[in-house]
Amino acid sequence: MVDSSQADDRKLIRLVRERRLLYARNNMPVASYYTQVKNLWDDVATIMGWSVADVRRKWSHIRNSYSRHLRNEMHGACTSKGRMVSRWYLADELEFLREHMATDMLV
C-alpha cells in the first residue's frame, strides 16, 4: 500500500465523494455499472498518482475505519482506561457515507 498523509486521505475522500457511483448502491445493469466504476477508479488513481489497486485498497481501509467509528459511536465504545473513544479524524469528511452504510450501523 502507498504511504499516505492525512492530506492524501482527505483528497481521496473528496475524489470518491465526487463520484457517487463508487459508494452508492444503484439499480444499473451490471455490465454498464462495472465499466463505469472501473473508469472512475482509473480517474481517481490518475489524479492521486497511485495505482488503481492502491487507491481501491486505501479507500477500502478508510471505509472500514469509518464503519468501525460508527459502531464505536453507536455503542459508546471506551478505551481500556474507561474513557470514551475520541472522534476519528476523518469522520466529518465521511459523513456523506452514513446513509449508504449497513442499516445496523445507522445511529
User: Can you give the pTM of this predicted structure?
Assistant: 0.81
The three cell numbers of residue 39 are 473508469
Percentage with pLDDT > 70 across the chain? 82
pLDDT at 29: 77
| 3-state class (DSSP) for residue 3 | coil
**Confidence band for 84, pLDDT divided at 50, 70 and 90:** low
pLDDT tens per residue across span 52-78: 999 999 999 999 999 988 888 777 656
Alpha-carbon span 96 to 100, nearest angstrom:
8
Q: Which of 94, 92, 69 is nearest to 12 (CA)?
A: 94
Higher pLDDT, 69 or 81: 69
Is-contact 58 2, C-beta < 8 A? yes
CA torsion sign for 37, 43, 48, 51 is positive
